[in-house]
Structure 1
Amino acid sequence: MTELTQRVHPTDLELAALISSKICHDVIGPVGAIYNGLEILNEDDDAEAKSYALSVIRNVTEQASARLQFARFAFGAAGSAGSLIDLGTAEQISRGFIGNNKHKLHWQGLAGHMAKDKVKLLLNLIAVSVTALPRGGDIEVIMSGTTEVPNFVLRCKGTGARAPQHLTEFITGEGIPPLDAMTIQAYYTWRLAQSAGMPLSIVKDGNDVLLSALS
């Protein structure tokens, strides 16, 4: 029996608390930056400083909004049970989440509507793929099959590409880390893959890392 099967999964309340901590962790930085920018506006009469503060506020407000929108679909209900989600919407919020900094998102494959549990899995795969590229790089989302029976392959390309943080341990059931705000993303992704009937695999392809969820 593996270490994972010997462990007790978190209760619904514990899982909700961990995900809440994850969301707060992701947005506290931008919100803090907004507060700092507002303080500069209130206390500094220099026109250049005010212009800089407004620029920071705009950028981090957009960032916070994108992260919350992503969390709403990746972690939240985003509709009633069994509902379908437009893949165009999934692409849009994914691009907002990744942004235009050191990571670049490339999206190809299926169009139309897909079951909510599978879209949530795809979004969480995109989120964990960011941890596969600590120095930045390209995340290529490739979908095949049909919207009813899809396959997801994410190619992570960049310097120092590695397996997404903590995900291998949950897939193999070996060396499982304690669940906290930093590991819950990988755990939740693994659980979503199980629920969707799409087992996960991580392989190296040259310098790239391929993260797959196949029906």
Structure 2
Amino acid sequence: MASLTLDALDLSALLCSRVCHDLISPVGAINNGLEVLEDDNDPSMREFALDLIRKSARTASARVQFARIAFGASGSAGAAIDLADAEKLTRNMFAEEKPDIAWSAPVALFPKNKVKLLLNLVVISNTAIPRGGLIDVKVTGDGDAPEIVIVAKGSHARIPPHAEELIAGTPEAGSVDSHGILAYYAGLVARAAAMTVTFSIEGDAVTIRAVPTEAAVEPAPANAPTSEDDRPSDSEPSDTALA
């Protein structure tokens, strides 16, 4: 299947659409709370409105900060990002969501694109457990050759539809919309970071693994046949027979 390449305008438009989608709900809730404060003098309703505004403002702020790193430039080219900051952003992002977050990673600065990939894969893992559950994030190795393993465990877990094809850049429909842009973008980041992403599922657990592309391809043994033409035929005499 041919790879899909979006032009810069389409890619930026779809990413902006994704960010706006994530912000519509909390920003709308803040507006609703302000309207209650303006129109209702009932103390209990005003307290409810203030609580709604506080909660929604925290959610909106967390999503903006997360998107700034996951989708944005976040500094100059080649910048490094602290994994501790990535953990904080992730926990804040999902503070009001269904999944619990477990996080195990070295205290280190990692290359920007590898951290962007990590954050995008965490969001994708959340879609693998629509009824909530646990997202277990493990990062091992160093910034040059890390291994990222994210296990999303919960009821009715499944590999997100079309995620594998979108990350590979070969969507089945030959196009991508605002629903699939996150996985497509994660694939772009993975290739820029020289990482390969794979999915697997066992029971109620979906595992997303990202490893350096070189490590994902195991070289064949030096003396292994490379094609059927290289294999000895039954009709060919062996060295022993010729001896």
Could you say which TM-score interval applies, normalised by the shorter chain? over 0.9
Q: 2:147 aligns to what?
A: 151
2:103: which partner in 1?
107
CA contact (8 A) 1:131 1:165 kept: no
Distance across 1 between alignment mates of 2:167 and 2:14: 19
Which residue of 197, 207, 227 maps to 1:200?
A: 197
Following superposition of structure 1 onto structure 2, how do residues 3-152 of structure 1 map, counting pairs within 5 Å?
4-5=2-3, 7=4, 9-152=5-148
Unaligned stretches of 5+ residues in structure 2: 213-243
> Which of the two has higher C-alpha Rg?
2
The verdict on how the C-alpha distance between 1:25 and 1:78 changes in structure 2, with shifts beyond 3 A counting, is same
Runs of 4+ in 1 over 6 A off after TM superposition: none
1: CA distance, partners of 2:119 / 2:97: 19
Superposed CA RMSD: 1.4
Superposed displacement of residue 205, structure 1: 2.5
Please say if residues 37 and 54 of structure 1, whose CA atoms lie closer than 8 Å, have aligned partners that are also in contact.
yes
Corresponding residue SS for 2:63: helix
Equivalent AA in structure 1 for residue 183 of structure 2? A
The superposition leaves residues 107-141 of structure 1 with CA deviations (integer Å, 9 ceiling, x where unpaired) of: 00222100001000001001111111100010000
Structure 1: gaps of 5 or more residues:
none
CA distance in 1, matches of 2:70, 2:161: 18
Between stretches 123-132 and 166-175, larger displacement belongs to 166-175
Change (3 A) 1:177 1:97: farther
Letter of the 2:116 counterpart: K
How many residues align? The count is: 211
Offset from partner CA, 1:53-94 (integer Å, 9 cap, x none)? 101111011000000000000000101000111111111001
Code of the aligned partner of 2:126: V
- Shift of the 77–174 alpha-carbon distance from structure 1 to 2, 3 Å rule, reads closer
**Is 1:210 aligned to residue 207 of structure 2?**
yes
Q: How many angstroms apart in 1 are the aligned matches of 2:67 and 2:188?
A: 16
Aligned residue in 1 for 2:187 = 190
The separation in 2 between residues aligned to 1:78 and 1:57, in whole angstroms, is 28
In structure 2, how many angstroms separate the alpha carbons of the residues matched to 1:115 and 1:135?
Answer: 33
| Cα deviation code 1:30-56 (max 9, x no counterpart) | 101100000000000100000001011
Distance in 2 (CA, whole Å) between partners of 1:186 and 1:171 is 5
Give the direction of change, closer, same or farther, for the CA distance of 1:177–1:28 in structure 2 (3 Å limit). Answer: farther
CA distance in 1: counterparts of 2:183 and 2:167, whole angstroms: 9
- SS at 1:125's partner residue? helix
Q: In structure 2, what residue type is equivalent to 1:208?
A: A
Moved more, 168-177 or 31-40: 168-177
| Aligned-pair CA distance for 1:183 | 1.1
Are the counterparts in 2 of residues 128 and 165 from structure 1 also a CA contact under 8 Å? no
Matches of 1:133 and 1:165, distance apart in 2? 12
How many percent of aligned residue pairs carry the same amino acid?
42
